[in-house]
Amino acid sequence: MSIKLIQDRLDSYNCKSSIEEEHAIREITQEVALAALGRTNFFKYAIFQGGTCLRIFYGLNRFSEDMDFILKDTNKDFALQPHIQGISDELKAYGYDVEVTDRSKADIAVRKVFLKDDSLGQVLQLQYSDESGPLKKIRIKFEVDANPPSGSGMEIKYVDFPFVSSVTIQDKPSLFGGKIHALLCREYVKGRDWYDFLWYTSQDIRINYDFLSSALRQQGPWQDEDIHVDLKWCLEQLEKRITSIDWAAAREDVRRFVRVAEQPSLELWGTELFLSQMTKIKG
């Protein structure tokens, strides 16, 4: 019955390629993991954020690989492993054979754990397995920032697959603030960041400047600087960034995370498009 639940969920995606099928299975696994975390006390301490949060709770139309969290309050002694054990136990009940690798280090604020599974391809009926070979090992990285920037907003949302569970997530302005930080401070160009930027600017979402300011002071080119972060400052910095990017390379980074039907829109990516979207940011 548990495998059938996963199979029915996969069938509902109506995948059009092997890569879509792989992303769908990963996303289903992420949903089971979130529901499992909701059964523990994890969200008493932590907040879900990032692209997977946008995808599951706000309908972002791209797939995402990792699951990112921040603690509500700094706790350098926070241990992720006990919560991961709860996820592992739940996944096993649904037919997974999970391998857990803990890459956390006591002297590094961001805790990292990897979950891997290569068993599902043997029990699920995959539409594209013949043309692409066996399903790759499903791999999900969990990251928890135990020394997060201050000022994040949060709200309670619910998942209803495979069972009803509550999840604490960042609110949209805080998520947007975190994305602006990534756009300005990441040392390489990540097309998925800019795909998300298009989504945010189309949603009339304001920026949580307190959270963004705290993140900028904590990490990146403005670390430890006393800067006044507002709409004007953000627009100036974004314009510099947008006019310096190789957009052909950026869209190739995101292509495999977007459904086949949407990929023609990636050809519109360029400086003009993103400067135009930048003007939609509200103060």
91-122 residue pLDDT tens: 998 889 889 898 888 778 999 999 999 877 67
Query: Which pLDDT score is estimated for 130?
Result: 56
Q: Place 128 in a pLDDT band, splitting at 50, 70 and 90.
A: confident
Radius of gyration, CA atoms only, the chain: 19
What is the pLDDT, as a whole number, of residue 125? 83
3-class SS shares of the chain: helix, strand, coil, % to 5: 50, 15, 35
The predicted pLDDT at position 18 comes to 87
Kindly indicate the confidence band of residue 144, based on its pLDDT and cuts at 50, 70 and 90. Answer: very high
pLDDT 10s digits, 177-212: 999 999 999 999 999 999 999 999 999 999 999 999
Closest CA to 214 of 146, 147, 142, 283: 147
pLDDT of residue 108: 87
Instruction: Determine the Cα–Cα distance for residues 153 and 173; give it in Å rounded to an integer.
Output: 8
Cα separation, 169 vs 165, whole angstroms: 13
- pLDDT class for 133, splitting at 50, 70, 90? low
Predicted pLDDT at 104: 85
Q: From residue 37, give the alpha-carbon distance in Å to each of 25, 66, 85, 88.
A: 18, 15, 10, 10
pLDDT for res 45 = 97
pLDDT digits (tens, 9 = 90+) for 6-65: 999 999 999 988 889 999 999 999 999 999 999 999 999 999 999 999 999 999 999 999
- pLDDT level of residue 279 (50, 70, 90 thresholds): very high
For the record, the structure tokens of 211 come out as: 């959270």
Question: Do 281 and 202 form a contact (C-beta atoms < 8 A)?
Answer: no
> Token pair of 180, please?
């602006």
- Residues 222-278: tens digit of each pLDDT: 999 999 999 999 999 999 999 999 999 999 999 999 998 999 999 999 999 999 999
pLDDT value of residue 221:
97
Q: At what angle do helices 231-242 and 271-278 cross, to 10 degrees?
A: 180
- Ranges assigned E (strand) in 95-230: 98-102, 110-117, 138-145, 154-159, 165-170
H-helix or E-strand containing 4?
helix 2-11
Phi and psi of 9, rounded to 5°?
Answer: -65, -40
Structural domains of the chain ordered from first start? 1-170 (3.10.450.620), 171-283 (no CATH)
This model's pTM is above 0.85: yes
Q: How confident is the model at residue 73 (pLDDT cuts 50, 70, 90)?
A: very high
pLDDT of residue 121: 65
**Two structure tokens written together for 6:** 């996963």
pLDDT greater than 60 at residue 163: yes
What confidence tier does 124 reach under pLDDT thresholds 50, 70, 90? confident
β 138-145/154-159 pair status = unpaired
Q: Round to whole Å and give the CA distance between 101 and 113.
A: 6
